[in-house]
Amino acid sequence: MHNVRTVNEDVIWLGASDRRIALFENAYPVPKGMSYNSYLIKDEKTCLMDGVDTAVLTKFMANLEFALGGRDLDYMVVQHMEPDHCAAIPALLSKYSNLKIVASQKALDMIKQFFDIDLGDKAMAIKEADTLNLGKHELKFFAAPMVHWPEVMVTYDAKDGLLFSADAFGEFGSLDGGIFADEVDWERDWLDEARRYYVNIVGKYGAQTLALLNKAKALDIKMILPLHGHIWRENLDLIIGKYQSWATYTPEENSVAIFYGSIYGNTENAAEILATKLSEKGVRNVRVYDVSKTDVSELVSKAFQYKALVFASATYNGEIFDGMHTLITDLKNHNLSKRTVALIDNGSWAAIAGKKMREMVESMKEMTVLEPVVSLKSAVSEANVAELEELADSLVDLLNQ
């Protein structure tokens, strides 16, 4: 049985959620599941905006048939050729024999790669500023390379001010009936998952995301319709402002996130002493994370959120402790920049983690290491406590700048 919602008089949401999925892209934990949005525009021509993942394909095909109400499907716009939106292409081509696939040339090439389908005259290649007239609605396409793959286009419908934004403005998590951001407490319940989604999926490509935001500034946008998560029809400045921060690697929280990798709890102890001192000195919202316990996608997201970062790591096999090494590597891979980092290391006979963390941090763009590096020898000493006090003062000074 169908499950669709009206977006406006001509647009129908055909999405579905997968609550059984454990890892999105077989990489990112999604304890609240994952949603896949698709939209049908019913005008003189009918046009499907992207599709869904194979996990919800059966529901999607039924929803589409219902939404078409007996009409044929004329176009499918493939804004993004990643399989989480394209599983339906072979089935759609088979069911709707007049269907034309509208996509960038790169996306059309990928359809051939993924499905070994020769689209022939069913393919319509589009490029920047091309348009597709559906009747009352004229779709205009804008390239958004690397947000999230190189073939991505986004689509603007000037009639209703709709921006179909592909992966941009998406979220991890299933949709629980409310498909519009104004139908949920978005900042309380969804902001963290929107940040974790952006940072991990697209965060490396801040410059390209910023280019898309700059294109969007020239458009009169009344609604943003992403391929994952909620549709925005109110308070668009909230999500656009967040994207502006994330794309420019600008921290949102003037506070300290402390990440520790500890084997027997002594490095952890240093991290907690520092957190306590910071809180006593008036720093609000200090956060402490065990890198061995918290998924790295969450850690990377928090590093994007906070202004000051502390990496506290035991030495292990003559290296940085595993979880911390993974975290800093991931931060570098995601192009995190513009942060001040304090370092704490530990070693019972040859502490080397501090030196190695410094090398990694200094190889990143616009990163500053705060002095002094606090070095533990097995456990926190009285001298270390004094050094942590000094480090807390330096962090407070930084936050007050």
Alpha carbon 181 to its chain's center: 16
Closest CA to 304 of 195, 201, 207: 195
Residue 160 corresponds to which amino acid? D
CB nearer to ligand FEO: give 216 or 227: 227
Supply the minimum distance, in Å, between the C-beta of residue 159 and ligand FEO.
Answer: 26
**Would you call 5 exposed, middle or buried from its count of C-beta atoms within 10 A (0-12, 13-18, 19+)?**
middle
Supply the minimum distance, in Å, between the C-beta of residue 79 and ligand FEO.
Answer: 10
- Tell whether residue 84 is a contact of ligand FEO (CB under 6 A): yes
**Size of site (CB under 6 A) for ligand FEO:** 9
Per-residue tokens: 361: 């941090």
CB nearer to ligand FEO: give 227 or 270: 227
CB nearer to ligand FEO: give 80 or 137: 80
Helix/strand/coil for 307: strand
Residue 172 corresponds to which amino acid? F
CB of 57 closer than 8 Å to CB of 88: yes
Supply the minimum distance, in Å, between the C-beta of residue 199 and ligand FEO.
Answer: 14
Conformation bin of residue 235: beta by default, left when phi > 0, alpha when psi is -120 to 50: left
The region of 79-87, 252-260, 325-333, 366-374 touching ligand FEO under the rule CB under 6 A is: 79-87
Supply the minimum distance, in Å, between the C-beta of residue 84 and ligand FEO.
Answer: 4
Peptide bond into 372 cis (omega under 30): yes
CB nearer to ligand FEO: give 104 or 267: 104
Cα–Cα distance for residue pair 78/67, rounded to 1 Å: 19
Supply the minimum distance, in Å, between the C-beta of residue 228 and ligand FEO.
Answer: 6
Closest CA to 376 of 353, 359, 342: 353
218-237 residues near ligand FEO, rule: CB under 6 A: 227-228
- Tell whether residue 298 is a contact of ligand FEO (CB under 6 A): no
Q: Give the residue, chosen from 10, 13, 28, 80, that forms a contact with ligand FEO under the rule CB under 6 A.
A: 80
CB nearer to ligand FEO: give 208 or 262: 208
Supply the minimum distance, in Å, between the C-beta of residue 349 and ligand FEO.
Answer: 46
Distances from the Cα of 318 to the Cα of 184, 352, 353, 354, angstroms:
49, 7, 8, 11
The region of 77-85, 122-130, 253-261, 305-313 touching ligand FEO under the rule CB under 6 A is: 77-85
Supply the minimum distance, in Å, between the C-beta of residue 227 and ligand FEO.
Answer: 5
C-beta nearest to ligand FEO: residue: 82
The region of 81-89, 106-114, 211-219, 265-273 touching ligand FEO under the rule CB under 6 A is: 81-89
Those residues with Cβ within 8 angstroms of residue 47's Cβ, 6 or more apart along the chain or in another chain: 40, 41, 74, 75, 76, 77, 102, 132, 134, 137, 139
CB nearer to ligand FEO: give 88 or 291: 88
Q: Taking CB under 6 A as the rule, which mask of x and - marks residues 105-124 in contact with ligand FEO?
A: --------------------
Closest CA to 75 of 101, 40, 109: 101
147-176 residues near ligand FEO, rule: CB under 6 A: 148-149, 167
CB nearer to ligand FEO: give 27 or 383: 27
Per-residue tokens: 304: 């994007």
Sign of CA dihedral 157, 162, 164, 165: positive
The region of 80-88, 91-99, 209-217, 281-289 touching ligand FEO under the rule CB under 6 A is: 80-88
Binding site for ligand FEO (CB under 6 A): 80, 82, 84-85, 148-149, 167, 227-228
